[in-house]
Chains A and B, each alone.
Chain A
Amino acid sequence: MFADYSMSELGAIFAMQGFAGLILFSVFVLMALGLAIIFGQMGVINMAHGEFMILGAYVTYLTSNVFADYMPALFGTYFFVAMLLAFLASGALGLLVEWSLIRHLYKRPLDTLLATWGLSLILQQTYRSVFGAREVGVSIPDWMMGSLPLTDLIEIPINGIFVMVLAVSISAAVYVMMFRSTWGKQVRAINQNRVMAGAVGINTEWTDRLTFGIGCGVAGVAGSAFTMIGSTGPTAGQLYIVDTFLVVVFGGAGSLLGTIASAFSISQAQSIMEFFLSGSMAKVLTLLVVVGILMIRPQGLFSLKLRK
């Protein structure tokens, strides 16, 4: 298999494949962070998570159009505005959904799953009616195009680097929010013992709503970042949902570090296998290994010790 390649070519292939894996890793991390907050901390299954991401992507698409039409001079910076808008739009929708739907179902997790699936169907159809069934792409600002030549053989696309930087900074932001802010402290307190948290004066209802909203907002930012590396269609969200849940469950629900570690191992395994096998078989094998490990170790890679 390797006989046809020289050593330097092999090294380049592994480096490029490893880098492709890193981009996939960033994508997984971005997808999974919002879910790690919602599912990991609140135990709510949000099957519409993918649709919240797509909302962020469409918001980015709209913003880029507005900038292109009215402020072409500032086009290079539209993405940062779009990210903020995506966070606000998805977050606001998340608050609304929590208020109207999720809060009635906290005691019935399986029913939440069905209701949010219904929500995802409604959102998909809404996107299709508003934006059309065809995929839309945004025009990337000039500074994000092209690639960075490291050596003669290894080239790294700049938008890939951007997505990676984004993944790292959003992870850091979520970490700070979770472990340094009052909100994070309250979320973790509620996760440990809801009744006690309420008894010491935490407004559990409001914290739940805010947590759901922030989780959805992070999903929106992820969707926004995806427009940099691919196009957006109404049903794109559904493609991600299984991967995303597996990443979170595999990492051990409730552990941010676990989520990142599992995103890393799954993405690397998949992109390395993709080189040797067809894309679909690489995916099948990766998923099978993940499911197999989960059967042996249901609590995932990293588990928090909690008193239930």
Chain B
Amino acid sequence: MQSSAFMSRKEIIGFAILAALIFLVLPAVLDNFRLNLFGKYLTYAFVAVGLALCWGAGGILSLGQGVFFGLGGYCMAMFLKLEASTPENTAIQSTPGIPDFMDWNQLTELPWWWEPFYSLPLALLAVVAVPVMFAFVIGVAMFTRRVGGVYFAIITQAFAAIMTILIIGQQGYTGGVNGITDLRTLMGWDIRTDEAKTILYFVNGALLFAVLLIAQYVRKSKLGRLLIAMRDQEDRVRFSGYNVANFKIFIFCLGAAFAGIGGAMFTLQVGFMSPTLVGIVPSIEMVIFCAVGGRLSILGAVYGALLVNWAKTSLSESFPELWLLGLGGLFIAVVMFFPNGLAGVWSEKIEPRLLALFSKKKPDTSAPDGAPAE
């Protein structure tokens, strides 16, 4: 890939602006508490970027991204929980050395499938591998039978429901409705201090950029163009000799991997993982992050995740009743009036005017793609 084909000049500027925002502007203007909140929002941005690829480019709407987010998050949380449950820390339990919620549920030994999570490399592998394997199974079953569109959306939503019921029902193994809480250290490094949270924020940002670059690479590759072709005219792509199902499976797995990484970072940044982040409601909220930012733009998805969550926090702090109305209105407004989200508003309305403004002075200045004005 030559760099000119990988990213246009416009896109380089867009990436640079987002980088400046995440790494310079936000840390400079926000206090520790708010920066930690934005760190949490960034973890949702991973999911939104994955959705921009699956849904925006590939036309596959998954209402089950929360499952992958949760799987990644739970894998990380299981490792951290085991590290926190040393026999010394849990000496008051009837069975020391196992996580506290297991003890409360009368379990006397660690279930076998928790064992691998003593090892950090295995846990990190699981963060990506478990969601991807799950997505692969769903993808193979659905896409090779040409199930798509609304049916796919409904079935992924059913998975989100199943996963929540399962986690809540099996509380001895999963921590139940409270989730896995009271996480303390990562390899001896206390993740609860302000300093650690700030470092994690930057780790989050860096990982998000890695994910964005992968997404950009996929979009610009032949695969990305095929995805868009499939979204618009699936049969033509099929008749041209491509195996449509394989591309869909790949992009769905990639989205799941992104969501898994986001979930793991959520666990680290916020310090717990619970079924409230897995179910139907969070999954569909993740779709709205992507829709608000602009389903076609990976950078827009990041802005969408940040803006919607920021609005959610500020609105529900001051007017808790208004938030649901606002969110509902947002869903309707985005669908009815801005189908391409903020990125669409930017590239259709704002950018041409800016261009007209600048072209009088300097003929060759272009504005960033998909970077909505804030």
Residues of A within 8 A of B (CB): 43, 45, 101, 104-105, 108-115, 117-122, 124-125, 128-129, 238, 241-242, 245-246, 249, 278-281, 283-284, 287-288, 290-291, 294-296, 298
Contact = CB atoms under 8 A, between A and B. Distances in A.
Interface in B248-294: 280-281, 284, 287-288, 291
Interface string B138-160: 00011001110111011101110
Interface string B326-339: 01111110111001
Contact of A114 (B145, B169, B281, B331): B331
A111 B55 CA distance: 11
A219 B161 CA distance: 22
Nearest to A111: B335
B336 A104 contact: yes
B276 to A, nearest CB: 14
A101 B332 contact: yes
B331 A125 contact: no
B166 interface: yes
A246 B328 contact: no
B43 to A, nearest CB: 22
B168 interface: yes
B191 interface: no
B162 A288 contact: yes
Contact of A242 (B149, B280, B321, B335): B280
A246 to B, nearest CB: 6
A110 B149 contact: yes
Contact of A118 (B146, B280, B327): B327
B324 interface: yes
Contacts of A279: 169
B47 to A, nearest CB: 16
Q: Chain B at the A interface: mostly helix, strand, loop or mixed? A: helix
Kindly list the 3 A-B residue pairs having the minimum CB-CB distance in the complex, ordered from nearest.
A118-B331, A280-B169, A121-B328
B149 A109 contact: yes
A29 to B, nearest CB: 19
20 contacts: A104-B336, A109-B149, A114-B288, A114-B334, A115-B336, A118-B329, A118-B332, A119-B332, A121-B327, A125-B321, A129-B321, A245-B158, A246-B154, A249-B151, A284-B169, A290-B158, A291-B162, A294-B151, A296-B145, A298-B147
A291 B158 contact: yes
Which one of A45, A108, A115, A118 has the greatest number of beta carbons of chain B within 10 Å? A118
Which one of A109, A113, A294 has the greatest number of beta carbons of chain B within 10 Å? A113
B61 interface: yes
A105 B150 CA distance: 14
Given A118-B335, A296-B141, 20 more contacts: A105-B335, A110-B149, A110-B153, A114-B288, A114-B331, A115-B332, A115-B336, A118-B330, A119-B328, A121-B325, A122-B325, A124-B324, A125-B321, A238-B280, A242-B280, A287-B161, A288-B162, A291-B155, A295-B141, A295-B145
A259 to B, nearest CB: 14
Given A104-B336, A295-B145, A280 B328 contact: no
A38 to B, nearest CB: 12
Given A109-B150, A110-B150, A118-B332, A280 B165 contact: yes
A294 B155 contact: yes
Contacts of A101: 332, 336
B141 to A, nearest CB: 4
Contacts of A113: 61, 150, 153
Contacts, number: 119
Q: Chain A at the B interface: mostly helix, strand, loop or mixed? A: helix
A241 B158 CA distance: 10
A226 B168 CA distance: 25
Nearest to B144: A295
A207 to B, nearest CB: 21
B328 A125 contact: yes
A113 to B, nearest CB: 6
Which one of B169, B330, B331 has the greatest number of beta carbons of chain A within 10 Å? B331
Nearest to B287: A114
A238 B280 CA distance: 9
Which one of A43, A109, A121 has the greatest number of beta carbons of chain B within 10 Å? A121
B108 to A, nearest CB: 20
A281 B150 CA distance: 27
B158 A242 contact: yes
A101 B332 CA distance: 8
Nearest to A280: B169
Contacts of A104: 336
A114 B291 contact: yes
B59 to A, nearest CB: 8
B324 A121 contact: yes
Contacts of B166: 280, 284
B331 A121 contact: yes
Contact of A245 (B154, B168, B170, B281): B154
A114 B169 CA distance: 29
A116 B330 CA distance: 11
Given A114-B334, A284-B166, A295 B149 contact: no
Contacts of A45: 150, 153-154
Nearest to A298: B147
A125 B325 contact: yes
Contacts of B146: 298
A128 B322 CA distance: 11
Contacts of B329: 118, 122
A296 B141 CA distance: 7
B298 to A, nearest CB: 19
A284 B165 contact: yes
A124 B331 CA distance: 14
B353 to A, nearest CB: 27
A108 B165 CA distance: 31
Which one of B159, B166, B324 has the greatest number of beta carbons of chain A within 10 Å? B324
